[in-house]
Structure 1
Amino acid sequence: MLRKQVGIAAALFAIGAVTLTACGQGATQTGNAAPATEQAQVGETSQAPADESGVDFLRGSANSNNADKTTGDRAPESAPAEVKQKWVELRVGNAGGLEPAVVNGKGLSVYWFSDDPVKGGVSNCNGDCAKTWPPVTVTKGTKLFFPGIKRENIGFVKRQDGQTQVTIGGRPVYLFSKDKKAGDVLGQNVGNKWFVINPEGGRAVAPAEAPTTQPAPTTSGAKPATSVTFFTGKNFDDFSGDNFATGVKPEAKCADLRGAFRSLSPSGAVKIWSEPGCKGKSAVVSEDVRDAAELGFANGVRSYILP
């Protein structure tokens, strides 16, 4: 992955002059360590090589990788930046009825700013604007979990203050300071400039406005998976209610799962089945599946095998 081009913000906000309107905010409108080898042991997920930015990309979620829950996205608001940057999670989820949307490790909605040029290598939200819209930033050694987002859709820009900000689909991404809990989308449509982002870098919309089915992930030329993370919740949810995740190493022998799993993140091609013992409906997938029901697995995935 080519490193994103470093840019300089086109204009500085004057001290004390930045208001909510200057950030594109009028009246709020609420819209609906890094080895390149794959992990082999059961319960672990695969880890991609470190990006040129020094970030470690890991498959699976923060929970399935046993990320410290007192750091990263779940650190207290008062925690220093180095603690918050221990790990960052950007996962596909539901943001206040918008789906698929990108949320962070606490389930908070992630936004893009229309004043930022797509793939322009620059963020135009700095100073007081960045206090209202905190950028999602990383540093060397940050662990980045990205279930449901294609690796090639993730990049970085250098901010005015020297920090490295994450991009999705070439758009720098932010949180909104008024969102306090999972499902809040108080930043949606603010000033007609801020929007919840989807996994491709576009605008997240309500399911009724989105395609009703998820196309079967392509398997053309895909190597057999060395690891797969299965989630009992759709959208890679392993932190709501009783949902959990399990990491496995698929082999040429059929293996049953302990229950039904609604989403999965494989490191390559794997064959999934709707019933134990590799029976019932089957499909070969090689990319993240956010809802197995959209592939015809109404009751989830119950067993798997290498294709």
Structure 2
Amino acid sequence: MRRNQVGLVAALFTVGALALTACGQGAATSGSAAPSPDQAQSQDVAQDASANEVETDGLSGVDLLRGTANSNKADQNSGDRAPESAPTEVKQKWVELRAGNAGGLEPAVVNGKGLSVYWFSDDPVNGGVSNCNGDCAKTWPAITVTKGTRLFFPGIRRENIGFIKRQDGQLQVTIGGRPIYLFSKDKKAGDILGQNVGGKWFVINPEGKRAVPKAEAPNPAQPAPGTKPANSVTFFSEKNLKDFGDSFAVGVKVSDKCADLRGGFQSLSPDGAVKIWSEPGCKGKSAVVSGPVNDTSAAPIGFPAGVKSYIRA
């Protein structure tokens, strides 16, 4: 795989030179959307960006980017948000797979419209095939990509994302070795009408397993046993992983050095275990999290002013 650094000059002129924190080097964002006048002051709390980092998958030709579709300025009339009548090539301009909440299941994977993402128990894990074709695929549309598709994956580890070739020749995305799908009867964010259909369809989590109700999930202030350290985190300026309207998102790398955020961020979606602090310089109150956090001011984290620094856990 190769890594391309794009937009470096533009990013430097837009947000200034990369800031070095008192206790470590600042992390690079994934390319926040250009702020409106109303957002300009709020955007100042975001950490400086050095470039939009793109990883192109060597086999599929898909471009993988940290951060959300909005923070990467994806066309809102294409990709996951394209009209149902749009051609396939328009729908495949971009795909977003983010860790979030699906009808009370958390962490669960949802797409760029907030629709729940599913796996099918008849598909062999890491088997390289989908057993949902023909009429089945009309009810359970596969999430497909093509060369040049931009895939955003906040809160999901890169190593958990893969691709298989379907019977019709399309490339289908996999998470944890499982081909992934939408359900045709889900119409709005939060719908999980496909959950447990026939005892074979389940909402998927970022690891490629069955998503469970939030009450059954590990305490967000402690990492789940065996959780790997985070490679990246997407921070959101408002609660509930919101990145539209006056809010925005910042995708950052995570390293073993403390890094600061300018101001406080109210929610986050990591792809592994990350330690966060209530004050710059990795000071103040701290917590270790390994899944999406919708409100950093709420218990058990309790950061009234949001997250201000972080480090790999």
* TM-aligned CA deviation for residue 245 of structure 1: 1.4
* TM-aligned CA deviation for residue 202 of structure 1: 0.8
Query: What is the one-letter code of the residue matched to 2:75?
Result: D
The normalised TM-score by structure 2 is 0.72
Alignment-derived partner of residue 261 in structure 1: 266
Matches within 5 A, 1:120-131: 120-131=127-138
Equivalent pairs: percent with the same residue?
A: 68
Supply the RMSD in Å over aligned alpha carbons: 3.5
Assess if the C-alpha contact under 8 Å between 1:234 and 1:290 holds in 2: no
Alignment-derived partner of residue 204 in structure 2: 197
* Consecutive unaligned residues in structure 2, runs of 5 or more: 16-28, 32-51
Cα distance between partner residues in 1 of 2:269 and 2:213: 22
Assess, with a 3 A threshold, how the Cα gap between structure 1 residues 196 and 304 changes in structure 2: closer, same or farther.
same
Q: Which structure features the higher share of strand residues?
A: 2
Assess if the C-alpha contact under 8 Å between 1:269 and 1:306 holds in 2: no
Q: 1:215 pairs with 219, 223, 229, which one?
A: 223
The normalised TM-score by structure 1 is 0.74
Alignment-derived partner of residue 85 in structure 2: 78
Assess, with a 3 A threshold, how the Cα gap between structure 1 residues 72 and 281 changes in structure 2: closer, same or farther.
same
- Tell me whether 1:138 sits opposite 2:142 in the alignment: no
* TM-aligned CA deviation for residue 218 of structure 1: 5.5
Assess, with a 3 A threshold, how the Cα gap between structure 1 residues 147 and 295 changes in structure 2: closer, same or farther.
farther
Cα distance between partner residues in 2 of 1:131 and 1:247: 34
Assess, with a 3 A threshold, how the Cα gap between structure 1 residues 122 and 168 changes in structure 2: closer, same or farther.
same
Q: 2:167 pairs with 154, 160, 169, which one?
A: 160
Alignment-derived partner of residue 9 in structure 1: none
Assess if the C-alpha contact under 8 Å between 1:230 and 1:264 holds in 2: yes
* TM-aligned CA deviation for residue 47 of structure 1: 2.3
The alignment of Structure 1 onto Structure 2 pairs a total of residues equal to: 266
Alignment-derived partner of residue 64 in structure 1: 71
Cα distance between partner residues in 1 of 2:60 and 2:82: 22
* TM-aligned CA deviation for residue 37 of structure 1: 3.4
Alignment-derived partner of residue 94 in structure 2: 87
* TM-aligned CA deviation for residue 232 of structure 1: 2.9
Q: Deviations over 1:29-76 (max 9, x none)?
A: xxxxx8533876456243224342110010001011010000000000
Assess if the C-alpha contact under 8 Å between 1:156 and 1:166 holds in 2: yes
Query: What is the one-letter code of the residue matched to 1:207?
Result: K
Q: 2:248 pairs with 241, 244, 251, which one?
A: 244
Assess, with a 3 A threshold, how the Cα gap between structure 1 residues 142 and 235 changes in structure 2: closer, same or farther.
farther
Alignment-derived partner of residue 36 in structure 1: 4
Q: 2:284 pairs with 277, 280, 283, which one?
A: 280
